[in-house]
Amino acid sequence: MPRLCMLLVLSCMWMTACTGGEPSSSPTTISVADWSKVGKMETYAYYADRGSIRKADETVTMSDLFDYKTAQAEGGIPVLSKITVREYDCQNQKSQAVKTTWYADHMGSGAAGRTVGATGQLVTSASGTATAALMTIACGR
């Protein structure tokens, strides 16, 4: 019996160490990103996860989050946010979404809805857009 108790205590300590001792705020949130607000438009605010930046020559990937003020229809379901992993060609000032997932709640939380992959086409971002502002952060310019 003492061995069983010791095993239980050690298991709890190990689980606490692995999770940082903090309970998950939402079991359906897949991102542990540290979102930094970049800007806002009339219908949404947008954020960058600077910790997700990965560089390979002139190509950079970074995650971004769009948080909508009101529910948007995506794939027939209402969503309040989306997280995108975006690839940037810093030299040519072009980008493409690699993966986008829409969420039922704000800040990438709640049930994940529709997910789409890369378009296969890098496009130029117009000046003054959210994507252009995010590119500036990703490319370090």
Each residue's pLDDT tens digit, 114-130: 899 987 889 998 999 99
pLDDT digits (tens, 9 = 90+) for 10-63: 343 333 333 343 333 333 334 468 999 999 999 999 999 999 999 987 799 999
**In what helix (H) or strand (E) does residue 6 lie, and over which residues does it extend?**
helix 2-19
Q: Hey, which residues does 101 pair with through a beta bridge?
A: 83, 115
Q: How far is CA 89 from the centre of its chain?
A: 19
Residue 79 has pLDDT above 90, yes or no: yes
Contact (Cβ atoms closer than 8 angstroms) between residue 107 and residue 67: yes
Report DSSP letters for the chain, one per residue.
-HHHHHHHHHHHHHHHHHHTT---S-TT------EEEEEE-SSEEEEEEEEEEEEETTEEEEEEEEEEEEEEEETTEEEEEEEEEEEEETTTTEEEEEEEEEESSGGG-SSEEEEEE--S--EEPPTTSHHHHHHHHHHT-
Could you give the domains of the chain? 34-139 (2.40.128.710)
